[in-house]
Amino acid sequence: MTDVVLDEGCELCEAARFTHWYYEDQVCWVADCEACSTPMVVWKSHGTEPETGEVDWMLARLTEAGMHRFGEGIGSVDRTMRQVPDHFHAHLRDPHWLARRWTEPPSKYSGVGGARQLVK
């Protein structure tokens, strides 16, 4: 496994726990993205090139979170890194993610795993 490298001032390295967290281990964490509210997997190390096995692992954990949230076979992995191009992460976007940003309150952190709770 790759050594974990952190970058001061990188928001993904900071890994702030504001939204719902679906999963966490030594390789990655999966939580609702603060910007778009869809599940997002983030590599625990700062950089763009995890090993192939780690990428597969992370995308599988992301897909699991998406299944939990939206149901089986809904949504697709989006590996485009728009906001933080230098730290590996990926989103799981369902077809309605864009509209939902404005109609659904964001989730809140309530421990890793468990039921997803919304900010009231």
Instruction: State the residues that interact with Zn ion by CB under 5 A.
Output: 7, 10, 12-13, 33, 35-36, 46, 87
46 vs 68 by CB, closer to Zn ion: 46
Which of 13, 65 has the CB closer to Zn ion? Answer: 13
Rg, the chain, Cα only: 14
Name the minimum Å distance from CB 83 to Zn ion: 7
Indicate the residue among 17 and 46 with the shorter CB distance to Zn ion.
46
Residue 117 CB, nearest distance to Zn ion (Å)?
19
- Beta-carbon contacts of 89 under 8 Å, excluding residues fewer than 6 positions away, are 12, 40, 41, 42, 43, 81
* DSSP 8-class letter at 96: T
